[in-house]
Chains A and B, each alone.
Chain A
Amino acid sequence: MTPSRLRLVSASDLQWLGGALALSCFPHLLEQPLWLALSLAAILLVLTRLSADQRARLPRYSHLILGAVVAVLVFQAYQTLVGREGGVAILMALSIVKLLETRTLRDVRGLLLLMFLLSGLALLHGQAPWQAAYALISTLAVLYAAQRIELGNTLPMGINLKSSSRMILEGIPIAILLFVLFPRLPAPLWAIPDHSSAKTGLSGDQMTPGSIGNMIQDESVAFRVSFKDKAPPQANMYWRGPVFEDFDGISWQPAYGQNRDQNALRFQAVPKIIGEGEVYSYSITLEPHQQSWLLALDMPTHIPANANLSNRLQIVSNQVVSEKKRIELSAQLSWRTVNDSPRQIERSLILPADLNPKSRALALSWAHLPPRDRVAAGLNWLRNNDFSYTLSPPVLTSRHRIDEFLFTHRQGFCEHYASAFAFMMRAAGLPARVVTGYQGAQQNADYWIVRQADAHAWTEVWYADQGWQRVDPTFVISPSRITAGIGLSIDSTELPFMMRQDNAWLRNLRLKADILVHGWNQWVVGYDQKRQNELLKKLGIDDFLSSAFLLWLIGGLLAILGSFAAWLLYKSQPPRPDAASRIFRRFIRKLAPMDKAASETAQAFAARAQAQYPHLAKHIEAITHLYLNARYGNDPAALPALEQAVRQMPRARQP
């Protein structure tokens, strides 16, 4: 152990350390419950401002006691000290406490390592561009403090800042190369502990009329879509989400549960989708929604790896989408399904007994028609009975809610229509169910944005010859909702800003910004195994064991490291001698094996050389004279003359 590691660190250095620690803890503090964040911030502030004198007077075990206290606080907040949230919180809290027992350079180094880690772990809270930039800034601060303390505060602030920044900049080429080439895994190493972020977006548990209406206020992005070749018409953009079979009179629920343990049931007897017509290939960048189901254009005909098609024709990922996720899919707009499970079809006919007698009676009157005509009759009835599409329908309160909606208020939102229509079709003897998802999209440059406000619900009915087919009752009530998006179908003051049709320029600006965000999501955040394969294919790499991969990896590393090394060697070269000396050096080489000692003057050497090679005496004398003139005299003509004289002199020893 070198004694320098035990050198005590000055109080002002410790304040810098505390400052850098505050920067690296800040994004983590934002994620804590307010009371915890405030107490940890207060501890950090007090510890940073502690003078050397006050430190010396602290009781011996104070850091252990404080450590135990913050551990209890963190446990209070998370009920655990491990896992993604509790683990990060306790790491941060203990780093703060470590400041208390930091005295020597060795302690400082330990804490600095933790601070590097904290700066990086901040990315767990989000990977937006500004969060990435913040991680860089906090790393810079840690490097700055590290360099300042290591060099014993001998470096001026500006120079230190410049050199720390350059270290990060010099690291970026290597980071980019390895980021692109390092093999990504298709699945996590171990199960991610479930974390309790607020769930936004559609619910897979149930659908109650009104639940989607609430989402209309939410203009946040649900996902972004890029079509490979061309996009389907907007009216056909139905993004399929959770499907519901069981109706209890108030809400719709999935028959076997959407998310939980029924995986085995979900993938039993999966019907087959036979697509017809044009194939649309596209990729979705899904915002994390903490669910395992994905959204896909109706109907998906290509299922991505790591995902399955459930028996409700819904695409379910192998793991919860807790980070931005990019999925490659393709769809066909017309289809039929075969091999539908008879049990599921039966289940799609069940209605709660003795509820909604009026609706049931109405639907029964269509029961004698062929299936397609029953659907047409239902839609016609809706079209002809003054129904309206509104975001704020009257609240349904009675026991017979479908009756209340269909016969009393006649005002509703998509889920009211989907729910009522599925009910009527079942009553008419046609298997029907409710599908939720999103409808429509907003084009922005070469991709489309789907927002939470685009949430939608529709109905699916089952025909013996074609299987499950989509029927959207909202379309007959408000066709513009489907063809032009929600912005034109509803009074705009009810809508969030981005969904409206006015203030075009401001919306354009925000759409421009979204292009950047989209690119970031596509190429940085969403750079996963799939994307990597695509990119590597373009580079001619088929797999990670191929020689092409090694060539790119090693070639890239050599190119980067080599250019740094070359630059380093270049910078450390002794200063280049002046022209006259260089030419004189050439002259000396011609007299090999003679050599001029460093301490020898040119004249002394010339005398020695003349003695050694009398036949060159004239040359030697002339050259030495010219050299002295060129180097020390003020004679501009001497240099070219010297060069010529040296060129003309023969070698002393012919090889």
Chain B
Amino acid sequence: MPMTAALLSFWRPYWQRFLARRHPVESGKVRIRHQRLYILPTLYGLGFGMIFITMLVGALNYQLSLGFFFAFLLLGVAHAILLRTYANLLGLQLSCGTPIPVFAGENVYFPLTLLNEKRQPRFGVNIQARQQAESASTHIPGQDHQLLALPVKSRQRGLLALPRLTISSTMPLGFFRCWTYLALDGVALVYPQPEPDPPPLPDHGALSDGKKMQASGNEDFAGLREFQRGDALHDIAWKQSARTEQILIRQHQSPIGATLWLNFDELAGLPVEVRLSRLTAWILQAESTQRPYGLALPAQQFPPALGHDHLHRCLSALAQYPGGAT
């Protein structure tokens, strides 16, 4: 066994390179073609083969003419099943959407769309990303599609490409396993992992707690502006919106000094990843307490603001800070 294990590990990189060449990354809707579809009998299928051999030997020995016929019929049925197993995947179309960003260490759920143009349903289609423990399995009705969120564990901040997928099925009888490899062009953004127990927010303005409380209040009304994606529902000016047929947002004047600048360079002395982690934790904290915050990175600056879009822009910048996964 150690011998085979060593041999296997020796060949693995070559094998992976071969597969990567044979199944290059494809974009958009990818159809499973017959040139890239493999099929082999399962253990159960080999058992069926044993039944065939038993029948054949019996027929030979007892000179049982119909025994021959029956044995060969089993073979023919196995072939019919083989074709069905093959057809179950052939022509299936897959595409990958943009997954919701996650923090490093969490599962990215890649939204896969499985499109079945055939009239027959496709059964037990199993999808597994390379080197992932979890897999997803689904039935796709005829001339219909199925959405599937495929979990992939993220380890590192940055961009996470959808690993090569193994799409397999043993349906309808389990005698054969048919599979193909598919590299879809799905990419997920992975934010840095927030530091678990971060130090308090860096408050240069030396504001009292009471002032901070005021800052999150809504008294300092400063005007209206148009709705942008990511604005909080409670900021919508419903009455004014109803009059103007536009959704309007109340803008608040934040008290001076309440503005928070989160500066990468101020965390000097710490490793890059720890700094990014801490900044992430602070951003989340500021967002949850509704304190406008700005982010200063060596190459980029994000002026203080609040809201979903701002949060995403800041976290994306941290995620894609040089040195992460691409």
Contacts and interface: CB of A to CB of B under 8 A. Distances in A.
Interface stretch (B70-78, B205-213, B224-232, B246-254): B70-78
B173 A146 contact: yes
Given A116-B74, A135-B66, A571-B87, A170 B80 contact: yes
B77 A167 contact: yes
A172 B51 contact: no
A116 B66 contact: no
B106 to A, nearest CB: 24
Interface residues of A, number: 62
A265 B70 CA distance: 41
A136 B73 CA distance: 9
A188 B63 contact: yes
Interface string B175-211: 0000000000000000000000000000000000000
A8 interface: no
Interface in A134-179: 135-136, 139, 143, 146-147, 150-151, 154, 163, 166-168, 170-179
A453 B169 CA distance: 61
A178 B74 CA distance: 11
A287 B83 CA distance: 41
A526 B62 contact: no
Interface string A558-583: 00010011001101111100000000
A515 B58 CA distance: 29
Contact of A188 (B55, B60, B84): B60
A539 interface: no
Contacts of B79: 170-171, 174, 561, 564
Contacts of A575: 117
B72 A182 contact: yes
Interface residues of B, number: 49
Contact of A120 (B31, B44, B55, B124): B55
Contacts, number: 161
Interface stretch (A74-82, A121-129, A196-204, A438-446): A121-129
Interface string B61-101: 11111111111111111111101101100110000000000
B264 interface: no
A139 B90 contact: no
B72 A178 contact: yes
Most chain A CB neighbours (cut-off 10 Å) among B50, B63, B67, B84? B63
Contacts of A132: 66, 69
Nearest to A564: B83
B51 A117 contact: yes
Interface string A184-200: 11001110100000000
Contact of B61 (A171, A176, A189, A571): A189
B66 A123 contact: yes
A163 B121 CA distance: 12
A175 B139 contact: no
B118 A571 contact: yes
A533 to B, nearest CB: 15
Contact of A569 (B34, B54, B76, B117): B34
A366 interface: no
A170 B83 CA distance: 10
A513 interface: no
Contacts of B84: 163, 167
A190 B66 contact: no
Interface in A186-231: 188-190, 192
A116 B86 CA distance: 23
Contacts of A243: none
B172 interface: yes
Most chain A CB neighbours (cut-off 10 Å) among B64, B77, B79? B77
B48 interface: yes
A151 B171 contact: yes
Contacts of A182: 68, 72
Contacts of A190: 61
Contacts of B65: 127, 323, 524-528
A163 to B, nearest CB: 7
A369 interface: no
Contact of B83 (A151, A178, A568): A568
Ranked nearest first, the 6 interchain pairs of A and B with the lowest CB-CB distance are A171-B76, A174-B76, A572-B91, A170-B80, A178-B72, A171-B77
Interface of B: 28, 31, 34, 44, 47-48, 50-51, 54-55, 57-58, 60-81, 83-84, 86-87, 90-91, 117-118, 123-124, 139, 171-174
Interface of A: 84, 109-110, 113, 116-117, 119-121, 123-124, 127, 131-132, 135-136, 139, 143, 146-147, 150-151, 154, 163, 166-168, 170-179, 182, 184-185, 188-190, 192, 322-323, 524-528, 561, 564-565, 568-569, 571-575, 598
Given A120-B71, A151-B123, A525-B66, 9 more contacts: A120-B67, A168-B77, A170-B76, A171-B76, A171-B77, A174-B79, A188-B61, A192-B62, A323-B62
